[in-house]
Structure 1
Amino acid sequence: MKTIILSIFFSFALTAGFAQSEKEVKIKTSAICEMCKERLERNLGLSKGVKEANLNLDDKVMTIKYNPKKTDLASIKSIITNTGYDADEAPADQKSHDKLPACCRKTAAPHSDGKH
């Protein structure tokens, strides 16, 4: 019986430890369409320490779950700006922005028809 109780306790302790090691942040972007969403989610997903990245196109807010032992907010924002998009108050890297398809640049009209 002691073994079962100890096993349950350690399982709970390990699970609680993993949950505490994950953080979530929301960052406002200049993304416009599904192509922007796919590009940002892919680039963030390939980054060390990022566990999940999801862009809500309705409000242009990117929700990122990450391991703070492997990355930080500044690095995450840098990935977004180096992909060519604004990240909260940090402006997009101009060269990266200029390489985006014309329909994904800040000056493009909002669209969601997937025809670009």
Structure 2
Amino acid sequence: MKLLKTLFFALVLFMSANAFAQQKKIQTTVIKTAIYCDHCKQCESCGDRLNLGLLKTKGVQMVQLDEKAMTISVTYNTKKTDLATIKTAISKLGYDADDIKADPVAYEELDGCCKK
């Protein structure tokens, strides 16, 4: 009986630890950027390029652009990618990502409305 109780307790502990680990796998972060046009979500250069480019990054599940707050919310799987990789991907698309400056070559390829 004592062994059965111990096994049951171990099983409950394992299941709760597993559930907690699965919850931590998906994370959303908000990255500060610089957006200079007022139609970024519709703009092929800004919205589509940013969304499609980031969604090609392994582990990125959702991207939301807030041009008024000048932020990009990214939901990603922490088992497949990390924040540094996402910021680098944003930079390679021509945008600042917190402390990482936009890649100069990619920035020059943006439409004029997307530049300062």
Whichever residue aligns with residue 79 of structure 2, its letter is: K
> Which residue of structure 2 aligns with residue 82 of structure 1?
92
Is 1:66 the counterpart of 2:76? The answer is yes
* 1:24 matched to 2:34: no
Q: Contact between 1:21 and 1:67, CA under 8 Å: does it hold in 2?
A: yes
Deviation at 1:18, TM superposition (A): 3.5
Unaligned runs of 5+ in 1: 1-8, 108-116
Match of 1:47 in 2: 57
Alignment partners' CA distance in 2, 1:61 and 1:70:
22
Deviations 1:25-84 (A, max 9, x none): 110111232321222111111210001111111101111111111101110000100000
Q: How does the TM-score come out when normalised to structure 1?
A: 0.73
Alpha-carbon separation, structure 1, partners of 2:48 and 2:22: 28
Count of aligned residue pairs for this structure pair = 96
Partner of 2:107: 97
**What is the aligned-residue RMSD (CA, Å)?**
1.9
- Percent identity, please: 34
**Greater C-alpha Rg:** 2
Unaligned runs of 5+ in 2: 1-11
Please name the residue that 1:6 is paired with: none
CA–CA separation in structure 1 for the residues paired with 2:26 and 2:67: 24
Q: TM-score, normalised by structure 2?
A: 0.73
